[in-house]
């Protein structure tokens, strides 16, 4: 079999399925700060951090999460995803991509919610999930939506609420 065909078959289709949503998220997070902060600060300081975090959400939920599934804590997929998202938010904070109390709290919430939702979609490909269990897991969806919205609001306070004194680049 041709190697490129093998690779294409192995790549999770979720990456392609959620590509458009991921692009919208990356562009929104990358460009919205420009409205408040102008191109210089808005794009390079705030926008780039948002774009990197948005892309992390997409890659973690579609690629890293399923790859690490057996080692992530918890039995429910939404718990595993929330843990991975929060851990990645912590990692991005340590790497200096996310800075400040509100953005860090926001990133933990919305990255956790995003990865949690994306990973839940892999219940269909797992061989050990049951419909009753999945119905129970789906009760987490309103929590994910609330955490996602709250997280994004907290995340964006950095550029629309904070005065220029907060700008520490």
Partner 1 sequence: MRYLKNVVTLQLIESLCIGCGRCVEVCPHAVFDIHNRQATIVDRDACMECGACARNCPVDAVSVNAGVGCVTGLINLALGRKGDCCCTEDSCC
Q: Decide: is 146 part of the binding site for partner 1 (CB under 8 A).
A: no
Please, what's the b/e burial string for 24-35 (b: 16 or more CB within 10 A of its CB; e: otherwise)? Answer: ebbeebbebbbe
Report the length, in residues, of the chain: 169
Instruction: Report 101-120 residues binding partner 1 (CB under 8 A).
Output: 120
Q: Decide: is 100 part of the binding site for partner 1 (CB under 8 A).
A: no
Q: Are 148 and 110 in contact (CB under 8 A)?
A: yes
Q: x/- string (CB under 8 A) for partner 1, residues 10-49?
A: ----------------------------------------
Please, what's the b/e burial string for 47-68 (b: 16 or more CB within 10 A of its CB; e: otherwise)? Answer: bebbbbbbbbbbbbbbebbbee
Give the binding range for partner 1 (CB under 8 A) out of 34-42, 48-56, 67-75, 161-169.
67-75
Q: Decide: is 67 part of the binding site for partner 1 (CB under 8 A).
A: no
Shortest reach from residue 63's CB to partner 1, in Å: 17
Which residues make Cβ contacts (< 8 Å) with residue 8, sequence separation at least 6? none
Residues contributing to the site for partner 1 (CB under 8 A): 69-70, 75-77, 120-121, 123-124, 126-138
């Amino acid at each position: 079999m041709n190697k490129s065909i093998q690779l294409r078959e192995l790549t999770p289709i979720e990456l392609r399925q959620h590509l458009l949503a991921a692009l919208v998220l990356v562009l929104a997070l990358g460009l919205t700060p420009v409205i408040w902060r102008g191109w210089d600060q808005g794009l390079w300081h705030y926008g780039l951090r948002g774009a990197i975090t948005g892309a992390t959400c997409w890659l973690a939920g579609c690629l890293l999460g399923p790859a690490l599934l057996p080692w992530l804590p918890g039995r429910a997929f939404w718990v595993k995803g929330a843990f991975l998202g929060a851990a990645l938010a912590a990692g991005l904070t340590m790497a200096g991509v996310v800075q400040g109390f509100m953005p860090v709290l926001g990133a933990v919430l919305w990255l956790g919610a995003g990865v949690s939702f994306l990973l839940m979609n892999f219940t269909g490909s797992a061989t050990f999930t049951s419909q009753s269990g999945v119905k129970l897991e789906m009760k987490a969806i309103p929590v994910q939506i609330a955490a996602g919205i709250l997280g994004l609001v907290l995340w964006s306070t950095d550029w629309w609420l904070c005065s220029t004194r907060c700008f520490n680049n």
